[in-house]
A and B are shown apart, each in its own frame.
Chain A
Amino acid sequence: MEKMRLFKTIKQSPRWEYAKRMWYKFSRSPLSIAGLLISSVCIFIGLFAPYIVPYPEHGGLFHNFEDRFIPPFQNSSYILGTDYYGRDVLTRTMLGFQYSLMMAGTVLSLVVVPGVILGLVAGYHKGRWVDTVIMRISDVFIAVPPLVLALGICSVLEPNIFNAMMAVSLMWWPWYARLTYNVSSAMRNEYFVQAAEVMGASTFHIIFKEILPNCLGPILTKVTLDVGWVILIGSALSFVGLGAQPPTPDLGTMVATNAEKYMPDFWWTSIFPALGIAIIILGFNLLGDGVRDMFTE
């Protein structure tokens, strides 16, 4: 009896209504649902790849020259075919998902929190020196297209996936600072902020309990869409040779090494990893659109 009442209370609470409405707005577009499904599958693969791939040992230095360059869809043991070393393309692509998502996850977790906090602080103290300093510094990073800066930084470091992640993180945070700054500084002079100030709320409270919740929409949208972007830039870096090195099964690296040497005869060695990149980005883009819909009327 008590449980029933508890459920009923939750169901009628404003938070539940809010969640329901969010879900309605999200689910209105079938594409957003598709995005949710695709990105969930990608995340699943990313998390559990080593356990579900048919040939885990193909992820590294491995060779089986007898089975090399088997075309896809012909051999039931190698569904997507094999590459130069006889490694299963499906396995390596799925492992590549893991690397890509790991990169996105790492970069974003390093970047979002500091960027957002800096943006909030700058936005709240708009017009004062804190604002100017923070924004000018981020302007410097924004002055160049992201890819170029990442390349520049990477090129002076040793090429490996860790450094690539660091480079991308270093130049990614200003975008969050800027976004949060734009949103929060517009809110700075709204009545609800002034009311909180008058009531004696601490700056901490105002920034994190009043302003931040209202910024979540654009921030969450950007985070979701950024998964795609980070992976794109990461794969571009690998493509150039500045990211993960072979034999690491990174999607960009695989596209680069295989496209250069084995196109067009053995097209599957680079097309399927490329498709993998595209699917992840597509999934998160669709999801990001849905997230944006959730926060728009």
Chain B
Amino acid sequence: MADRPIEISDLYVGYKTYRGISKVLNGVHLTVDAGEKIGIIGESGCGKTTTMKTILQILPTNAMIQGGEVHFRSKNVLRMSKKELNELRRKHMAMIFQDPTAALNPVFKIETQLIDIIKSSEEYEVKKKEDFRPKCIRLLKEVALPDPERVLDSYPFQLSGGMRQRVCIAMALATPRYLLIADEPTTNLDVTIQDQVLLLIKNIVEKRQLSVILISQALGAVKGFVNRVYVMYAGSTVEVAETEELFSNPLHPYTKGLLESTPKLTGGGFSEGIKGRVPDYINPPSGCRFHPRCNQVLSRCKKEKPPFIDTGRDHGVACWLYHKK
């Protein structure tokens, strides 16, 4: 418990916008143990990326942390000094972003960006650029990039989407870290390469024995890979369980709806999805944010936000249906 890599409790984060404060995170609870692989699933805009950015403290300037704590090995990230934060990012965690095109600086060559990462994280004596090149090539080969020499000398816009994402993965691996955060790494890629990149990430995680937080909208991606899955909706974690358990025994009405929405090849056909739309974060629904769309809604749901409770077998859920009072 004491040296748990990640522990997020009751996190509230909002963004200042022209219409008011967008209260995106509404009580997020998340833990990652050493060596664990965690998955987070949820719709677009439910706050997954915001949560991850809070861990690394790379939120945009209009973000406000309104409550809660984020602990890295018992130290509160939100109160870390610049030096500590820097060490956190250099040595402990790395993040792969959703959009590889936006994540790479357009006016610098891949080589420059990669070398700077390597240089800043290890205590090398000042070496020339050329000395780092073999290491860069090894890294690029590890992410299965053909013709690493050419890639190194290119600018990001000269590479394809899949190649850019591989470069980003290489950057995340450039120095030994043991927690990888992969924020929808394949969503922005062509369908034909999504599989490849996901497989690549899997292999790397296995090989290097990394902890992972994998965010995805594709339930299938998560299923074959992680130990535990969190389900997020409208800024809260609504359910968590071990992968098998979650998929076979979903408790939260949202999770149930989500799993049913996935078209299955083996009969059953298409479901109707979940009625309603993602809430407006500036004026979110009261109580449980899912209540307007819930087909098992109780009167209590509109008034109070359900707490996150453990229903046994390490299966947690935030729903009044399961609150034994």
Which chain B residues lie closer than 8 Å to A25 at the CB level? 18
A24 vs B20: C-alpha distance when bound (angstroms): 12
Interface size class of A (residues with CB under 8 A): under 10
A24 vs B18: C-alpha distance when bound (angstroms): 8
Q: How far is the CB of A59 from chain B (nearest CB, A)?
A: 47
Q: How far is the CB of A297 from chain B (nearest CB, A)?
A: 10
A23 vs B18: C-alpha distance when bound (angstroms): 11
Q: Please, which residue of chain B has its CB at the minimum distance from the CB of A28?
A: B18
Question: What does DSSP make chain A's interface, helix, strand, loop or mixed?
Answer: helix
Q: How far is the CB of A8 from chain B (nearest CB, A)?
A: 20
A28 vs B18: C-alpha distance when bound (angstroms): 9
Which chain B residues lie closer than 8 Å to A24 at the CB level? 18
Q: Please, which residue of chain A has its CB at the minimum distance from the CB of B18?
A: A24
Interface size on B, residues (CB 8 A): 1
Which chain A residues lie closer than 8 Å to B18 at the CB level? 21, 24-25, 28
Q: How far is the CB of A28 from chain B (nearest CB, A)?
A: 7
Chain A, residues 7-25, CB within 8 Å of chain B (1/0): the string is 0000000000000010011
A21 vs B19: C-alpha distance when bound (angstroms): 10
Q: How far is the CB of B84 from chain A (nearest CB, A)?
A: 35
A25 vs B17: C-alpha distance when bound (angstroms): 11
Q: How far is the CB of A99 from chain B (nearest CB, A)?
A: 40
Q: How far is the CB of B61 from chain A (nearest CB, A)?
A: 15
Residues of chain A in range 49-92 having any CB-CB distance to chain B below 8 Å: none
A21 vs B18: C-alpha distance when bound (angstroms): 9
Residues of chain A in range 223-269 having any CB-CB distance to chain B below 8 Å: none
Residues of chain B in range 1-42 having any CB-CB distance to chain A below 8 Å: 18
Q: How far is the CB of B182 from chain A (nearest CB, A)?
A: 29
A25 vs B19: C-alpha distance when bound (angstroms): 11
Q: How far is the CB of B290 from chain A (nearest CB, A)?
A: 28
A58 vs B63: C-alpha distance when bound (angstroms): 59
A189 vs B247: C-alpha distance when bound (angstroms): 47
Q: How far is the CB of B190 from chain A (nearest CB, A)?
A: 20
Which chain B residues lie closer than 8 Å to A28 at the CB level? 18
Closest 4 pairs (CB-CB, A-B):
A24-B18, A28-B18, A25-B18, A21-B18
Q: Interface on B for A, CB 8 Å cutoff? A: 18
Q: Interface on A for B, CB 8 Å cutoff? A: 21, 24-25, 28
4 contacts between A and B (CB under 8 A): A21-B18, A24-B18, A25-B18, A28-B18
